[in-house]
A and B are shown apart, each in its own frame.
Chain A
């Protein structure tokens, strides 16, 4: 039954491929939801499985067995399997927690800096202009939401394109995309394969904002040219926090191409394959839950509270 705990560690490796398929087959806004929820669930199952493995290993040690009030030895598969697995799980969990804490710390600091920078400047509506020779634009979540744009970016765009850019950034803020990006960030630290999914989620957020902006302005070509021009102008690194959606992140050519292509109607069968990711997630969560429940049962048995 301990083998069930391995499934949540292996299944996330399928997520990047299935995630790209999901984004390809669904409306971007829907895909964003599906991708983010799946990534979180896969990450949760993975952490639960790792936790159970670590505990199994710990309860094998006499000191911890006494602490856990075990009266019988814990029944597990061969020690040659359980102990190395538990050690590896401990290492991976420690590493995950460390990178997560470090990333959270950095992101929060970058966000605070951006926020104070934005709050200090007088705002017209939700627009906050920063004088800078580096073209950059991003949606800054918080109360109130802001769009931060540098003067260089404003000067490299025409009036209609500026409106397109603002519509895109407002769409990010209105849909609360920063929550999705933060969730993707969290998931990426739980399993290495979910890093690729994080990139897909970022791309899905950009696509969703593009589509929302296109619908609002009623001009897909305008949004496409604005994105292209902003990307060409802003080919310089910036100091914005990673979860503040920028106007030029994601594979820009793909976004532009998607906007220029006529809206596709997808046959029902291809849409169904989009949910392979959901199936994979459900399987992973089920396996993880069964594994943890089984582990709990074994502990109860070892504590002499339940019959084997």
Chain B
């Protein structure tokens, strides 16, 4: 009964539930862990699909964990900066100087984070 009801819920509500679980956890979660955290009748494949969709939207990020991925919410302030940075870069024709100047202004913490993001991407 409960399984059927959970699977039939609108996609937006399922996304919200998964997102809430990720925020509440405060650490990257694998689809299996998210399913366990939700404690609902959602199938693991459904959870994985939702996570992929959220990742495509740029709402969550992921890192490799074992053979799969672990997902975590995009932190809002850095996420914002990243997006602003992107539009700034797209607007300016002289991409390289902008980039060079930008990197020079990074604090050690920012740099570390950039590296980790780059490593997580490939």
Show the binding face of A for B, using Cβ within 8 Å: 120-127, 129-131, 147, 149, 151, 154-155, 157, 159-160, 162-163, 166, 170
**C-alpha spacing A300/B19, complex, angstroms:** 67
Q: For chains A and B in complex, what number of residue pairs have CB atoms within 8 angstroms?
A: 70
A121 with B76, Cβ < 8 A, contacts A127-B16, A166-B17 known: yes
Residues of B within 8 A of A170 (CB): 13
Tell which of A123, A124, A126, A130 has the most Cβ of chain B within 10 Å. A124
Shortest CB distance A139–B (Å): 13
Shortest CB distance B18–A (Å): 7
29 A-B residue pairs with Cβ-Cβ distance under 8 Å, sorted by A, are A123-B59, A124-B19, A124-B60, A125-B12, A125-B15, A127-B15, A127-B16, A127-B20, A129-B19, A129-B20, A129-B73, A129-B76, A130-B76, A131-B75, A149-B20, A151-B23, A151-B24, A154-B24, A159-B24, A159-B37, A159-B39, A159-B40, A160-B39, A162-B17, A162-B24, A163-B40, A166-B16, A166-B17, A166-B20
A124 touching B54 by the CB < 8 A rule?
A: yes
Q: Return the chain A residue nearest B54 by Cβ.
A: A124
**C-alpha spacing A122/B53, complex, angstroms:** 13
Residues of B within 8 A of A124 (CB): 15-16, 18-19, 54, 57, 59-60
Q: Return the chain B residue nearest A131 by Cβ.
A: B76
**C-alpha spacing A122/B80, complex, angstroms:** 9
Q: Is B109 an interface residue (CB 8 A)?
A: no
In the A-B complex, the 8 residue pairs with the smallest Cβ-Cβ separation, listed nearest first, are A125-B12, A127-B16, A124-B19, A125-B16, A125-B15, A124-B15, A122-B59, A154-B24
Show the binding face of B for A, using Cβ within 8 Å: 10-21, 23-24, 26, 37-40, 54, 57-60, 73-77, 79-80
Shortest CB distance A126–B (Å): 5
Apart from the given pairs A124-B57, A157-B24, A159-B39, 8 other A-B contacts in the complex at a CB distance below 8 Å: A122-B74, A129-B76, A130-B76, A162-B20, A162-B21, A163-B40, A166-B16, A170-B13
Residues of B within 8 A of A125 (CB): 10-16, 19
Q: Return the chain A residue nearest B12 by Cβ.
A: A125
A154 touching B20 by the CB < 8 A rule?
A: yes
Shortest CB distance A140–B (Å): 13
Shortest CB distance B41–A (Å): 12
